[in-house]
Amino acid sequence: MIREFMNRNFRHFNAAVCVQAAEGWVKHLESGNKMFLTMAGAMSTAELGISLAEMIRQDKVHAICCTGANLEEDIFNLVAHSQYKKVPDYRSLKPEEEKALFESGMNRVTDTCIPEEEAMRKIDRHMLKLWQAADQSGQSFFPYEFIYKLIEIQELKDYYEIDIRDSWVMAAWQKQIPIFVPGWEDSTLGNSFVSEVIKGNISRLNVVRSGLDLMVFLVNWYKENTRDFSMGFFQIGGGIAGDFPICVVPLIHQDLKEDCKLWSYFAQISDCTTSYGSYSGALPSEKISWGKLDTDTPSYVIESDASIVAPLIFNYVLGH
């Protein structure tokens, strides 16, 4: 069992913190609390969904905040997995070889190339229909709601190339948990949406609800979901996926002048240095000074590779 292996072998340094963070997660849930997970980087292309989807299905994760890239790349992998190209020797690629990848429609993420036509444009064409339908009916939705609609109408069902149980977005849709996506414009589909507005194929930008709308939604969601229990915060990487949602607590306290619970658990898998003014790499103790965590909040920082550490922690929490 993974849990037994980790308890036996992960005794010191970052390895020990992995076990402590995982055990803290288990205790947090056993106390009747819930967990909010944030995801930066290219975790969907790293196929983190294989373990994250099961966490969602088993109610170990109750909401997600991620980049637009992570939202869409889980779906890209779902419909075009066989067309992806692995580049194990990516460190030795010459600029001319990178150019050749581009010209063949392969967009590289470290050692994995996403096929533009089979993945990105295939989804893009279906999304345009949904955006235009919302435009014509005067409706507006968040990015994840459009993805949920795409799943619901089952137009992509014949294209699925992986076990849908390995897709974390499919699991999130099945459980109907929210996926907060701040800065969605910084994504393939976000870029595509803007281009369709400029071309006149969509008449208004607010067909997709904005980041300010998203913060209002998050405030209301957090208040509702922390009435009877507390919310933990598990952060993979840094950036807007983590910075955006963690601010909801000081917003409620300091700007709305309302009482609310602080985040009651915090863990981060980070590859960022803690110096040079970095928010993403800041120690949890710094967050106390911002009114996000309390002095007794269980807090952990694992300085390691999330593609290795996150599946281990997830499987520990699942009891595997």
DSSP 171-213: HHHHHT--EE-TTTTSSHHHHHHHHHHHTTSSS-GGGB--HHH
Q: What is the pLDDT of residue 275?
A: 64
Q: What is the pLDDT of residue 122?
A: 93
Amino acid making up residue 20: Q
DSSP category for residue 288: H
Task: Identify whether 122 is part of a domain.
Answer: no
Helix (H, G, I), strand (E, B), or coil: what is residue 141? strand
Task: Tally Cβ neighbours within 10 Å of residue 114.
Answer: 23
Q: What is the mean pLDDT of each run of 10 residues along the chain (320 residues)?
A: 97 97 99 98 97 99 99 98 96 97 97 96 96 99 99 94 98 99 98 98 98 99 98 97 97 98 97 72 84 93 96 98
Nearest to 156 by CA among 78, 71, 81: 78
**What is the Cα–Cα distance from 148 to 169, expressed in whole angstroms?**
8
Amino acid making up residue 138: G
Task: Identify whether 52 is part of a domain.
Answer: yes
Crossing angle for the helix pair 122-137 and 143-152, to the nearest 10 degrees: 110
Task: Identify whether 108 is part of a domain.
Answer: no
Task: Identify whether 40 is part of a domain.
Answer: yes
Number of residues written out for the chain: 320
Task: Tally Cβ neighbours within 10 Å of residue 170.
Answer: 24
The CB-based long-range contact list for 104-108 (8 Å cut-off, 24+ gap) reads none
| Both tokens assigned to 230 | 């507390």
Quote the number of domains for the chain: 1
Task: Identify whether 129 is part of a domain.
Answer: no
Task: Identify whether 16 is part of a domain.
Answer: yes
Domain that holds residue 300: 2-84+144-183+209-317
Nearest to 248 by CA among 61, 59, 36, 71: 36
| Both tokens assigned to 141 | 């939705």
Task: Identify whether 127 is part of a domain.
Answer: no
Q: What is the pLDDT of residue 306?
A: 97
Q: What is the pLDDT of residue 284?
A: 86
Amino acid making up residue 243: D
Q: Which phi-psi region, left, alpha or beta, contains residue 277 (left: φ > 0; alpha: ψ -120 to 50)?
A: left
Task: Identify whether 120 is part of a domain.
Answer: no
- DSSP readout, 104-137? TTEEEETTEEEEIIIIIIHHHHHHHHHHHHHHHH
| CATH code of the domain in which 176 resides | 3.40.910.10
pTM over 0.85: yes
